[in-house]
Structure 1
Amino acid sequence: MQQVKDTIKEVFFAVLPITAVVIILQFTLIGLPMEMFFQFLIGVVMVSVGLILFLIGVHVGLLPVGEMIGSTLPKSKKVWLIIVVGFILGFVVTVAEPDVRVLAQQIDDVSGGEISQMVLIYAVALGVGIFVALAMMRIIYNIQLKWLLLGGYSVVFMLAMFTPDTFIPISYDAGGVTTGPMTVPFILALGVGVASVLKGKTSSSDSFGLVALASIGPIIAVQILGVING
């Protein structure tokens, strides 16, 4: 019950500032039609209720399940299984990520269907899946995070030289939207579970950095998509 109260409080203070700013601007500078203003207020209520339910679901379901999967996989002693499951979970969680779908829909609308919504979603999800698999390999083989980040961004900057200008900003936005409320909790919980079980490793030092790696994958994937579409 305390967790529900904390979640409601968290959402209230998160939504309150933007609501207050819009209300102040409405009666001082902007003066939107009242119908549109009331739609905004209704939207605020619906967003708040949705966020409360979503965050409760994350704490009740996603986080425990992600950590349980992560802590169970190493017991199989099959490295390939940990890597494959990491890829699959990274892929499917990204497909379900609301932020990714919003970006893909907007790009589809702006490009007039030239950049397909589903193609972009699957490209981003593929990039996240591959780099979550790399993150699992980092935990297993004790690879330093800085080398993976350095290698990943080196590929990003090299690909940028061959990527059409239209796709470069989209690729960086794609990397940003993968750090959303669905992907981040699940990937972090998965990393914590894997790192906490492996001998000689601590979840605090090895499980973090997964989101940093996961955000590189979509950038590279969208850049490659741009090179292919040319």
Structure 2
Amino acid sequence: METFKETFFEVLRSILPLTLLIVILQFTLVFLPMEIFWRFIFGAVIASLGIFLFLVGVQVGLTPVGELIGAALSKTKKIKLILFFGFLLGFAVTIAEPGVQVLSNQVEFVSGGDVPAITLVLAVAFGVGVFVSLAIARIIFNVPLLMLLGIGYCVIFVLAMFTPPTFVPISLDAGGATTGPMTVPFILALGVGVSSVLRGKSNSGDSFGLVALASIGPVITVLLLGVLYG
């Protein structure tokens, strides 16, 4: 019950400021048609309800399952198996990410269908999957996070020089789209499960950095996609 209460007020704090701002603008500067304004109010209520239910689902189901899966995989002590399923989980959770779906549909619309939505979704998901595996390998082999981030961004800068300019902002947006409410909780929970078993509870903070690495993957794969399309 406490989880429901905390999540409700969290959603309220997130949605209420924007809603109040729109209401103030409506009656001071903008003066939208009342039909549109009431649609906004209705949409804000529905969105609040949806976000509330989604966050409750994440806390009740996705996060615990992610930790348990990470812990169970780590107990097998089979590195290849851990990395393989890390890739699969990163790939699958990215396809389910709403932000990635929105971005891919927008790119398909703007490009006139030249870049199909499914192609972009698969490229982004593949990049996240590969770098989730890499992030888990970092935990296993205790590789410095800054070194991997430095190498990753160097690759991005090099690829950006050979990619059509239109693909550079798309790739960066793709990296941001993967840091949404579906991907982040699950990947972090997966990292906590892995690090708690392999490195001990006291070192479970090693799970942080997974999202930073995972967000590099789609940037690189979309830039590579741009090189192919270019």
TM-score range (shorter-chain normalised) is over 0.9
4+ runs deviating over 2 angstroms: 199-205
**What's the counterpart of residue 132 of structure 1?**
132
| Alignment gaps of 5+ in structure 1 | none
Whole-Å separation in 2 of the counterparts to 1:199 and 1:91: 25
* CA–CA separation in structure 1 for the residues paired with 2:92 and 2:101: 13
- Superimposed CA distance per residue, residues 152-200 of structure 1 (whole angstroms, 9 cap, x where no aligned partner): 0000000000000110000000000100000000000000000000145
In structure 2, the residue matched to 1:163 is: 163
1:77 alignment partner in structure 2: 77
| Aligned counterparts, 1:159-198, within 5 A | 159-198=159-198
Give the root-mean-square deviation of aligned CA atoms: 1.0
Q: Distance in 2 between matches of 1:199 and 1:222?
A: 33
What percent identity do the matched residue pairs reach? 61
Unaligned runs of at least 5 residues, structure 2? none
- In the alignment, is the contact (CA less than 8 A) between 1:195 and 1:202 conserved in 2? no
The alpha-carbon deviation at position 29 of structure 1 amounts to: 1.1
Partner of 1:106: 106
Partner of 2:223: 223
Deviation of 1:203 after TM superposition, in Å, equals: 4.0
Cα separation, partners in 2 of 1:5 and 1:205, compared to 1, 3 Å = closer
**Inter-partner Cα distance in structure 1 for 2:42 and 2:109:** 25
- Give the TM-score, by structure 1 length: 0.98
Aligned-partner Cα distance in 1 for 2:102–2:8 = 24
200 and 7 in structure 1: CA distance in 2 versus 1, 3 angstrom threshold: closer
CA distance in 1, matches of 2:200, 2:49: 43
Q: TM-score, normalised by structure 2?
A: 0.98
| 33-42 vs 90-99, greater mean Cα deviation | 33-42
Q: Give a deviation string over 1:40-73, Cα, whole Å, max 9, x none.
A: 1111011000001000000000000000000111
Residues of 2 paired with 1:196 and 1:69: CA distance?
Answer: 12
Give yes or no for contact 2:97–2:180 (8 Å, CA) kept in 1: yes
CA distance in 1, matches of 2:202, 2:137: 15
